[in-house]
Every structure is written in structure tokens, then in C-alpha cells.
């Protein structure tokens, strides 16, 4: 396929920026950038000067790695350029690639090509995007489990059970008039029992969905309280500590401050809506309304108001730092009590996302399909009419097939891959 390129690492400025090129002629294009130095051997890093082939201008000194297809991520010829992470360098390299006939990749296009070349199944493709976005331990575990095909294997087991149930039911329908067929009523009773049991197992996998999605999307903690109780000071204080992860994330409005935390391996986002103000601008008002809604649906609220669960300014009141009676006493100014807050938050996060087996169902698409399969299975288990019970079994297998992309390639492509960030 035509060559595409994109920045595959985080936004510059950063230590290193990885630009990836994939497609027919990817090697030729990079060969023109390195001119007489030549490409390094496949899958071996080589330091090369990159120069624009027309102007001759030096772009960067970079590590070049080639991955010949089909044994590459996309299944095509792939080159990675590990450049210096400056905005100017990355822009210059990308421009030179475009001048040489490559085009900027669309969101998720690399993964889409990997999927199309048979390198990934659908749950694995989804997991990969999660793995790339993983910031904490639990997110990584979960993404790795998915990438290993955990949900796929479960779905395939369920599906093969449904096939044998369908066979029992159908035998009673298609051979009811012929001699020597197993008793239809006994068959459908047996089918109903098996369905009920299968329903229980699907339900327990589905029950991991809230945790799975919490892992995937992170826990949300909102800081509330009247003006001037020290909300911003607390956020700033937390942001400078080890638990905080510095990620450039645009909030719903520029007035919401977000800090990503790693609480004992669990991802969390701390929201401060302090900057929200009343406005006449309808667009901004909508943004503010959404931010407030997000804070309102937070998994945890740290309330700095009177009688709230966090008591600030103990440097003024002289109260003792630490947890007492379910309230946390601290000073954002001096940092007193911050350790206790972290411990407390970590314990809370561990309750929300228990460790152990990583969740099976981890995103909304999977939850919808597993949920559909579950309700079809439960309906079938209750349905006295064997024709309609069989229809429920069929619908459930179709949904499970679609989970791993077995039924319909077309529909899911756009929906899944548009969620990927460029170059991932």
C-alpha cells in the first residue's frame, strides 16, 4: 500500500521522537534521506545523518531501524527514525518524507494496516491501542491480557457451547416428526439448563466491565469547595509529587485543571473545577456545564468546604496532620499531611480496582456486545417456544462472533480505528 508516515511517540518537545514510515517504497524513501550512508541491516539500529534530498539541508542525526515486511508491525516494509524530540526537527523530517511521496497517516492507520494484513484480531487491535495509552501498571496488565487474546478465547468457548445447544434445539425442530430422535422436551430442558449456566459465566465476565473500564479510563477524583479554601494549592502540591504523571492532556475547558495520578498502580485523574466561572458565551457555557457534570460524576470527591472530608490549613489551625474520623487534615502550604492523603487515596483506589485477575471486558464496544449476548442467552433460557429460544442462541453467537471481528469486518473498521491516535 502507499507509504504513510507519522510521529509515533508523544508530542515534542521530548527526549526522543520516533517517526514511523510504512508501505511500499518506505525503504526507498528513507534511503534518499540517508543518501550515501545507506540503510542499516534489517532490525538493527544505525546512526545516520538525515538530509533533505533536494535542498541538501541537514535535518537531524537519528537512529534508523528498518523492518522488512511481512514480519513487521503492519506487515509492510516499516522504517523507524528515532530523532531528537524537537518540534522543528520533527516538522522538518515529516516535510521531507512528504516531499518524497509519503503521506501523513490517518488516525489509527498503522494499526488498521496491521489488522488488515492479519497481524492482529480485533480485540488484540483494541488492546494494542490501550497498551500504547497505558500509563500505569494495571492498565498495562489489562492491555497485555487482552493482547494475548483472553476475551477472544472466552468468547470462542462460549460460542462453541452455544453451537452445541443450538444443535440440541434444532434437532427437536428439524427432526421432530421422524422416528428415533431424542425426546424434544428433554432436549429443550437440558438446553435451558446449559443456557442458564452459560448466562452465569458470561455475566461474571461482564461484571468485570466497570473495573475494566475504570482501569482503561482511569478513576476520577474531583476537588470541590468554596473559593479560597486552597483547592489550587492542593492540586499544585499533588502535581509536584511522585504520584503525578505529567501528560499533556487538554481538558474539556482550559479552566479545568487535570492531574493524572498513579495511585498504587491504578490510574486516576484529579479534576479541579475551581476556575469555572459564569459566562454569557454559549459555547463556553456548554463546556463548563460538561466539566461540572464530569466532576459531579467523579468516583471520589475531595471536599475542602466546611465539614468536608479534607481539612486544609492546619498550619493556621494547629490541628494534627493525618486521617482522623474519616477526615484528612493537611496543609497544602507546608505539605504537612500530604503523605497521609496519598496513602489514603491509594487504599481507596485499590478498593475500586482490586488486584488479581485483570478484567476481561474493558471497553464500551465489548461491553455492548457481551451484554447483548448475555441478554439473548437469558431470554433463550426463559423462552418456552423452542423456535424463539433457538433464535436467541443464534443472536448470541452472532454477537460473540462480532466481538472478535468474526462476523462483520466492514462496520467495525471505521468505528474502532478512528479512535486511535495518529501513528500508534
Using CB under 8 A as the criterion, which residues of the chain lie in contact with other proteins when the complex forms?
A: 1, 75, 115-122, 166, 170, 173-177, 179-180, 385-388, 390-391, 394-395, 398, 404-411, 413
Pick 42 or 409: Cβ nearer other proteins: 409
**Which residue, 348 or 372, has its beta carbon nearer to other proteins?**
372
CB of 420 to other proteins, least distance (A): 16
Pairing mode of beta strands 78-84, 16-22: antiparallel
143 and 127 Cβ atoms separated by less than 8 Å: yes
Please state the closest distance from residue 92 (CB atom) to other proteins, in A. 31
How does strand 300-303 pair with strand 219-224? parallel
C-alpha radius of gyration, the chain, whole number: 27
CB 158 within 8 A of CB 202: yes
Of 336 and 391, which has the nearer Cβ to other proteins? Answer: 391
Residue with cell 509536584: 240
Lookup result for grid cell 477524583: 221
Measured CA to CA, the distance from residue 122 to residue 155 in angstroms comes to: 12
Smaller CB distance to other proteins: residue 75 or 92? 75
Residue 173 CA from chain centroid, whole number:
44
Give the nearest distance from C-beta 177 to other proteins in angstroms. 5
Q: What number of CA atoms fall less than 13 Å from residue 23's CA on the CB side?
A: 18
- Tell me phi and psi for residue 132, to 5 degrees: -65, -35
Rounded to a whole number of angstroms, the minimum distance from the CB of residue 172 to other proteins is 8
Closest contact distance (angstroms) between CB of 403 and other proteins is 11
Which is nearer to other proteins, 108 or 218 (by Cβ)?
108
Q: Which is nearer to other proteins, 119 or 214 (CB)?
A: 119
Instruction: Please give the C-alpha separations between residue 191 and each of 158, 168, 279, 387, in angstroms, as whole numbers.
Output: 14, 7, 61, 13
CB of 409 to other proteins, least distance (A): 4
Amino acid at each position: 500500500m502507499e507509504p504513510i508516515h507519522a510521529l509515533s511517540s508523544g508530542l515534542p518537545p521530548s527526549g526522543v521522537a520516533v517517526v514511523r514510515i510504512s508501505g511500499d517504497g518506505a525503504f526507498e524513501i528513507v534511503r534518499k534521506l540517508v543518501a550515501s550512508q545507506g540503510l542499516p541491516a534489517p532490525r538493527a539500529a544505525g546512526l545516520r545523518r538525515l538530509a533533505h534530498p533536494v535542498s541538501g539541508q541537514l535535518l537531524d542525526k537519528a537512529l534508523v531501524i528498518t523492518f522488512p515486511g511481512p514480519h513487521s508491525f503492519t506487515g509492510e516494509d516499516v522504517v523507524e527514525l528515532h530523532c531528537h524530540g524537537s518540534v522543528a526537527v520533527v516538522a522538518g523530517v515529516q516535510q521531507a518524507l512528504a516531499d518524497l511521496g509519503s503521506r501523513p497517516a490517518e488516525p489509527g492507520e498503522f494499526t488498521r494496516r496491521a489488522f488488515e494484513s492479519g497481524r492482529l484480531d480485533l480485540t488484540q487491535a483494541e488492546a494494542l491501542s490501550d497498551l500504547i495509552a497505558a500509563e500505569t501498571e494495571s492498565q498495562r496488565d489489562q492491555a497485555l491480557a487482552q493482547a494475548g487474546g483472553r476475551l477472544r478465547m472466552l468468547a470462542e468457548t462460549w460460542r462453541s457451547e452455544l453451537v452445541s445447544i443450538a444443535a440440541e434445539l434444532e434437532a427437536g425442530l428439524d427432526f421432530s416428526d421422524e422416528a428415533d430422535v431424542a425426546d424434544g422436551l428433554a432436549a429443550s430442558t437440558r438446553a435451558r439448563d446449559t443456557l442458564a449456566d452459560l448466562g452465569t459465566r458470561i455475566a461474571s465476565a461482564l461484571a468485570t466491565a466497570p473495573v475494566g473500564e475504570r482501569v482503561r479510563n482511569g478513576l476520577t477524583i474531583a476537588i470541590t469547595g468554596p473559593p479560597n479554601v486552597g483547592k489550587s494549592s492542593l492540586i499544585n502540591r499533588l502535581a509536584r509529587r511522585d504520584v503525578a504523571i505529567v501528560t499533556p492532556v487538554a481538558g474539556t475547558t482550559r479552566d479545568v485543571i487535570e492531574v493524572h495520578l498513579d495511585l498504587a498502580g491504578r490510574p486516576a485523574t484529579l479534576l479541579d473545577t475551581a476556575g469555572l466561572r459564569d459566562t454569557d458565551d454559549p459555547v463556553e457555557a456548554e463546556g463548563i456545564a460538561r466539566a461540572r457534570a464530569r466532576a459531579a460524576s467523579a468516583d471520589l470527591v475531595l471536599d475542602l468546604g466546611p465539614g468536608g472530608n479534607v481539612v486544609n490549613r492546619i498550619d493556621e489551625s494547629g490541628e494534627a496532620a493525618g486521617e482522623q474520623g474519616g477526615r484528612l487534615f493537611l496543609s497544602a502550604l507546608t505539605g504537612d499531611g500530604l503523605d497521609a492523603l496519598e496513602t489514603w487515596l491509594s487504599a481507596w483506589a485499590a478498593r475500586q480496582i482490586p488486584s488479581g485477575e485483570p478484567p476481561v471486558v474493558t471497553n464500551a464496544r465489548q461491553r455492548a456486545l457481551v451484554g447483548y449476548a448475555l441478554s439473548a442467552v437469558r431470554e433463550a433460557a426463559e423462552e418456552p417456544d423452542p423456535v424463539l429460544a433457538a433464535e436467541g442462541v443464534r443472536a448470541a453467537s452472532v454477537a460473540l462472533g462480532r466481538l472478535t471481528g468474526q462476523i462483520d469486518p466492514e462496520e467495525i473498521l471505521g468505528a474502532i480505528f478512528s479512535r486511535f491516535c495518529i501513528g500508534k
